[in-house]
Chain A
Amino acid sequence: MNLKNVIQIFILSYLTWLALNWSVNADVLITGAIISVLIAVLLCSHCEVLQEVRLSPKSFAYAFAFVGVFWIELIKSNFDVALRVLTPSLPINPGIVEVKTTLHSNIGKMLLANAITLTPGTLTVDILDDRMFIHWIDVTSTDINEATRAIVSKFEKYLEVMYG
Chain B
Amino acid sequence: MEIRMLIGSIVTLIGAIFIFLGALGIVRMPDLYNRLQSGTKASTLGTILSIAGIGIINPAWAGKAFIIISFVMMTNPVSSHTLARGAHHLGIPLSKKTVIDKLKEAEANEKKEEQ
Contacts and interface: CB of A to CB of B under 8 A. Distances in A.
A-B interaction: yes
Interface of A: 16, 18-22, 74-75, 78, 81-82, 85-86, 90, 92-98, 113-115, 117-121, 123-126, 128, 131, 133, 135, 137, 139, 142
Majority secondary structure, A binding face: mixed
A95 B18 contact: no
9 nearest A-B residue pairs (beta carbon): A117-B77, A19-B63, A95-B99, A95-B100, A98-B102, A133-B103, A114-B77, A22-B63, A120-B41
Interface in B87-109: 88, 94-95, 97-104, 106
A121 B42 CA distance: 9
Given A85-B24, A113-B81, A133-B102, A120 B76 contact: no
Interface in B27-54: 28-31, 33-34, 36-38, 41-42, 44-45
Nearest to B87: A125
Contact of A93 (B18, B99, B101): B99
Contacts of B81: 113-114, 117, 123-125
A20 B67 CA distance: 7
B73 A135 contact: no
Contacts of A120: 37-38, 41-42, 44
Contacts of A97: 100, 102
Given A123-B36, A126-B85, A137-B37, 19 more contacts: A16-B67, A19-B63, A22-B60, A74-B44, A85-B24, A90-B29, A94-B98, A95-B102, A97-B100, A117-B41, A120-B38, A120-B42, A123-B81, A124-B81, A125-B85, A125-B103, A135-B33, A142-B99, A142-B102
B18 A118 contact: no
Contacts of B24: 85-86
Given A18-B63, A20-B64, A78 B33 contact: no
